[in-house]
């Protein structure tokens, strides 16, 4: 098959991650071919051309519509701010492009539903940017659960913490505007929810409380403006399987840089995982002799797929961008019709969005809410 032509809309933090993944995927996974970086869009033509040159794209445009209209573009990487996802995604799908969209799908559930319906009608491949599910450690944890190594899972505690909103002097930005969504819930709680989705299935019921540690911030023109989003959320969850679970997220947690922590308790053992040390996990098994029972640290290595594609030596570790490369490989494989790919598409993503909106509704109403 011909090499895939790539269009990138947005060139910030995640845009650069996508560009690096597209450039590197063929060198790591030969079957992925060599994607052609065709067209990049940014807020104006000059900036777009600068970024296109920097990232290795053939050309840049100051209008995202030009990327979608470009016949050289087969797949669109969408990394613009959340509030623009729906409009751009719908246009890309209508133009017959495959789509790699960063999470969350959109600030409103109606927009997310429209995106999922459009994807279904288009027949194109769509993927959401949930790269943490690609981790070799998470894949191995999933295998342990499938093998029933820790018995029947009876409780899950999952958390995500970062400190990029901890400083009260950070100026008001788009993530403080209600147009971007609820805040920590849809900004990054969706990441631990993606792990819940692939490891345990759907959430059935939730009760949620949210908090706002900094009620106001200073705008670029020196005015004080009310913060419209919530940096902290605490959630009790009951999964469709009956599993009891908790979710806690905080983007104002000093000292936490990229922490997704999962504690999985079973009838025959426990699994611990922390994203800040995501090349390892801890395993406790009651099958061990009592005198030797304790948490063992399992370091990822070539035996944990697809680690070996990057490096043949165990314990050296992968990073965030390697997970993006794996995600890119999975997307290309699905576009080419290969079976067994590991992605969260718009259908699965819509269930995560549905869960987030149920949590927000629970906070507003002050009680338990059914997700469906």
- pLDDT for the residue 1: 57
Confidence check: pLDDT of 342 > 80: yes
User: What pLDDT, on the 0 to 100 scale, is given for residue 2?
Assistant: 77
- pLDDT at position 54 is 98
Q: pLDDT-derived band of residue 372, with 50, 70 and 90 as boundaries?
A: confident
Dihedral (Cα; 93, 95, 99, 101), 10-degree rounding: -70
At 221, give phi and psi (nearest 5°): -95, 15
Average pLDDT value for the chain: 97
pLDDT 10s digits, 1-35: 578 999 999 999 999 999 999 999 999 999 999 99
All structural domains of the chain:
5-124 (3.40.50.720), 133-316+343-370 (3.30.360.10)
* Predicted confidence (pLDDT) per residue in 47-76, tens digit: 999 999 999 999 999 999 999 999 999 999
Q: What percent of the chain has pLDDT over 90?
A: 96
pLDDT digits (tens, 9 = 90+) for 289-305: 999 999 999 999 999 99
User: Residue 224 — pLDDT band, cuts 50, 70, 90?
Assistant: very high
Strands (E), 212-307: 216-218, 224-226, 232-239, 244-250, 259-266, 269-274, 280-285, 296-299
Output the pTM of the full model: 0.94
**What digits encode the pLDDT tens for the residues 178-195?**
988 899 999 889 999 999
pLDDT tens figures, 80-128: 999 999 999 999 999 999 999 999 999 999 999 999 999 999 999 999 9
Map residue 19 onto helix, strand or coil.
helix
Bridge partners of 261?
159, 274
- 22 alpha carbon, distance to own chain's centre: 17
């Amino acid at each position: 098959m011909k090499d895939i032509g790539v269009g990138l809309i947005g060139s910030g933090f995640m845009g650069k991650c996508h560009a690096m993944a597209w450039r590197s995927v063929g060198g790591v996974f030969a079957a992925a071919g060599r994607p052609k970086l065709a067209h990049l869009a940014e807020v104006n033509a000059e900036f777009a051309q600068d970024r296109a040159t920097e990232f290795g794209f053939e050309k840049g445009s100051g209008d995202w519509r030009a990327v979608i209209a470009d016949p050289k573009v087969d797949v669109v990487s969408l990394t613009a701010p959340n509030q623009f996802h729906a409009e751009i995604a719908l246009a890309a799908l209508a133009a017959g492009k495959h789509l790699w969209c960063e999470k969350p799908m959109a600030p409103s559930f109606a927009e997310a539903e429209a995106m999922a319906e459009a994807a279904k009608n288009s027949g194109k491949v769509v993927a959401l940017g949930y790269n943490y599910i690609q981790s070799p450690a998470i894949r191995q944890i999933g295998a342990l659960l499938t093998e029933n190594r820790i018995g029947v899972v009876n409780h899950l505690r999952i958390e995500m913490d970062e400190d990029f909103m901890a400083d009260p002097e950070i100026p008001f930005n788009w993530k403080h505007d209600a147009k971007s969504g609820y805040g920590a819930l849809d900004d990054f709680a969706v990441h631990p929810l993606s792990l819940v989705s692939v490891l345990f299935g759907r959430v059935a019921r939730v009760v949620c409380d949210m908090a706002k540690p900094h009620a106001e911030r200073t705008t670029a023109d020196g005015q004080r403006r009310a913060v419209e989003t919530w940096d902290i959320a605490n959630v009790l969850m009951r999964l469709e399987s009956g599993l009891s679970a908790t979710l806690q997220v905080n983007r104002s947690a000093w000292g936490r840089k990229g922490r997704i922590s999962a504690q999985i308790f079973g009838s025959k053992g426990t699994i611990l995982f922390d994203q800040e040390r995501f090349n390892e996990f801890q395993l406790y098994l009651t099958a061990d002799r009592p005198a030797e029972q304790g948490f063992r640290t399992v370091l990822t290595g070539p035996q944990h797929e697809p680690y070996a594609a990057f490096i043949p030596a165990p314990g050296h570790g992968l990073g965030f961008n390697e997970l993006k490369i794996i995600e890119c490989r999975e997307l290309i494989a699905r576009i080419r019709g290969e079976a067994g790919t590991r992605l969260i598409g718009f259908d699965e993503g819509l269930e995560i969005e549905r869960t987030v909106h149920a949590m927000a509704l629970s906070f507003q109403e002050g009680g338990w809410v059914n997700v469906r």
